[in-house]
């Protein structure tokens, strides 16, 4: 039996591939546990600075494995939730590379990512209501922050599908690419991220993801608590030296 999740490292970039094409890469417990392990080791490895998650053989992910659900299986982990990701995404950046369908929990995996690259033939949807279920893997919590409210509500309560062109037009996607090129484009974007100071990237992500919940009168103080350690780091000095010396910086992550 093949591994349900494939993990490969290309320099500073980790690629996580859901590998159940016979089930349209639907998520069962084995997939969730393997993704969590891949995310944990990504966070722990200072040499890895960006990650890409994708699906094998032209489909991103059809969501929860309903056959496993009927057997009583819950495709979640205690720490990171559905698919070993959605409740606690990594502190480092993660990019979705979407070909084909990203449905239900598959769309929720996409929404848990920081950047999204999709093929022109990609399709997104939260069809849980059509099955008597609720999109409780973060889809209802995140979608209305990424799309106009009424469009997000329509998708949530009708279950209708959103094509990649419309998703891009509404600002959901970072890149829209020809079919078959999502992973290549996502890797290019990941390398752009990985070329930057890792402490600065992680701090910037933390501020962006957390600041919407900060009281306005506390926002700059909270930002300062995150940004000042980066400003005082060896990497900050290296970045300044590299700029003045007209060379590429050599980051140490400290």
- By annotation, the residues acting in catalysis are 108, 128
Number of neighbouring beta carbons within 10 Å of residue 156: 18
For residue 127, give the nearest of 139, 110, 111 by alpha carbon: 139
Strand segments (E) across 75-232: 76-77, 81-82, 94-98, 101-103, 115-119, 123-125, 162-163, 175-177
No. of H helices and E strands in the chain? Answer: 10, 11
Token reading at 228: 């000042």
**Most distant pair of Cα atoms in the chain: their distance:** 62
């Amino acid at each position: 039996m093949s591994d349900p999740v494939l993990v490969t490292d290309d320099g500073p970039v980790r690629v996580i591939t859901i590998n159940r094409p016979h089930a349209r890469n639907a998520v069962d417990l084995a997939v969730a546990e393997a993704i969590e392990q891949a995310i944990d080791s990504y966070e722990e490895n200072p040499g890895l600075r960006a990650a890409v998650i994708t699906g094998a053989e032209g489909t991103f992910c059809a969501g929860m494995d309903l056959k496993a659900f009927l057997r009583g299986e819950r495709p979640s982990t205690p720490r990171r939730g559905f698919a070993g990701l959605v409740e606690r995404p990594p502190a480092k950046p993660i990019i979705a590379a979407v070909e084909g369908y990203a449905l239900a929990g598959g769309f929720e995996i996409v929404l848990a990512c920081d950047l999204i690259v999709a093929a022109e033939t990609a399709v997104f949807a939260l069809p849980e209501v059509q099955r008597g279920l609720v999109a409780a893997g973060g889809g209802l919590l995140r979608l209305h922050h990424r799309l106009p409210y009424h469009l997000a509500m329509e998708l949530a309560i009708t279950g209708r599908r959103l094509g990649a062109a419309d998703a891009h037009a509404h600002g959901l996607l970072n890149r829209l690419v020809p079919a078959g090129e999502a992973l290549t484009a996502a890797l290019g974007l990941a390398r752009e991220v990985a070329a930057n100071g890792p402490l600065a990237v992680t701090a910037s992500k933390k501020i962006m993801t957390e600041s919407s919940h900060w009281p306005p009168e506390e926002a700059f103080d909270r930002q300062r608590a995150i940004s000042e350690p980066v400003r005082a780091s060896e990497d900050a000095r290296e970045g300044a030296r590299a700029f003045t010396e007209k060379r590429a910086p050599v980051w140490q992550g400290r």
